[in-house]
Amino acid sequence: MNEITAITPAPVLALDRGDVAALFDLPFMELVFRAAEVHRQHHDPNKVERATLLSIKTGGCAEDCGYCSQSVYAESGLKASKLMDVEAVLAAARDAKAAGSERFCMGAAWREPKDRDMDAICAMVEGVNALGLQSCMTLGMLSDAQAQRLGEVGLDYYNHNLDTAPEHYDKVITTRTWQDRLDTLDRVRGQGINVCCGGIVGMGETRDDRVGFLHALATLPEPPESVPINALVPVPGTVLGDILKDVPSARIDDIEFVRTVAVARILMPTSVVRLSAGRESMSETTQALCFLAGASSIFTGDKLLTTGNAGSDQDSLLFAKLGLNQVETRAVIA
């Protein structure tokens, strides 16, 4: 061995889709065990973060996302509303904080914000931060200047999902491209804002699409700090809600959903993995398996943006049954 070979570090092998597929293919017990091991190395396994969502501007969105009740192309009967007042948003944030939430996520049904809305948006971010909550915004595509303003006012997280595999993207959304999504993610990163980026399963995608989706997230220039995994909520009047409502088998199988969470946990060990939409129709047992497999956050409250959510009472009961968030358990298990 010459000197150069001796000091050259072993090459870091790039993660490829085959590696991700191999994780999905593991026997379920093995996969969940490995995910739980990774989870314990980086997180308190008995702590689940609670986040609260608020729709600050509902409906009338120009995009044609096939899953979304808020698209102008959907016949969901949703009435479009204007951007909420800053004070009303902060009142909801105070309620969320009082109910035990740690993060406050504000969502707007926009293709992109208008510059004239940015003063109000920035005041919301500053007000939420001042309450001692982590702030998160999801407003659609951002220009450089808009991302810069959000960075300057101290936005903690920007949520912008890749949603599915690159090759499945245009089957779900045609009014923007995968590259548009990557461009906004780059702008957010460039301002030092934490990235919240995940997607939806149960949209009729194949296992290979789920592999491509998680591979895309894990191989971003930096992995997202926060990864929401949504199970499709089939809303009547949306393209996907209508296609899938008569096909019960199209609903994502619970075991496959837990596999998706487990693979996300293994691929992105330090990220928050959020069990997001779809929890209302999930059994307690499935949710418990998701926590075991590495889910470390949920949305609490009766409502997500426009659809229902497992309410706080139900969640408190589940947390009590599972002994979640009772004490600082790192010390207990050490």
Compare residues 129 and 307 and give the one whose CB is closer to ligand DTB. Answer: 307
Compare residues 46 and 238 and give the one whose CB is closer to ligand SF4. Answer: 238
Whether 197 is a known active-site residue: answer: no
200 to 229: interface string for ligand SAM, x by CB under 6 A: x-----------------------------
- Helix H segments across the chain? 3-7, 17-25, 28-42, 86-98, 118-130, 144-152, 169-172, 178-190, 207-218, 239-245, 254-267, 284-292, 312-322, 329-333
Q: Which residues pair with 104 in a beta bridge?
A: 52, 135
Look at residue 299 and give its three-state secondary structure: strand
Residue 66 is a binding residue for ligand DTB (CB under 6 A) = no
Taking CB under 6 A as the criterion, which residues in 99-158 touch ligand SAM?
107, 109-110, 138, 140
Residue 164 is a binding residue for ligand DTB (CB under 6 A) = no
* Sign, CA torsion 36/293/304/20: positive
* Partner interacting with residue 318 (select from ligand SF4, ligand SAM, ligand DTB, none; CB below 5-8 Å by kind): none
Residue 306 is a binding residue for ligand DTB (CB under 6 A) = yes
Query: Which residue of the set 34, 103, 105, 176 is catalytic?
Result: 105
Residue 202 is a binding residue for ligand DTB (CB under 6 A) = no
The residue from 277, 289, 290, 310 that contacts ligand DTB (CB under 6 A) is 277
Whether 122 is a known active-site residue: answer: no
Whether 149 is a known active-site residue: answer: no
Residue 178 is a binding residue for ligand SAM (CB under 6 A) = no
Residue 83 is a binding residue for ligand SAM (CB under 6 A) = no
Q: Buried b / exposed e across 17-48, counting CB within 10 Å, b at 16+?
A: eeebbebbebeeeebbebbbebbeeebbbbbb
* Partner interacting with residue 160 (select from ligand DTB, ligand SF4, ligand SAM, none; CB below 5-8 Å by kind): ligand SAM
Residue 168 gets which letter from DSSP? Answer: G
Distance CA 216, CA 220 (A): 6
Q: Provide the Cα torsion 179, 72, 65, 305; round to 10°.
A: 110
Burial class (CB in 10 A: 0-12, 13-18, 19+), 8: exposed
Binding site for ligand SAM (CB under 6 A): 67-68, 107, 109-110, 138, 140, 160-161, 163, 199-200, 230, 232-233, 235, 277, 305
**Residues belonging to the active site:** 61, 65, 68, 105, 136, 196, 274
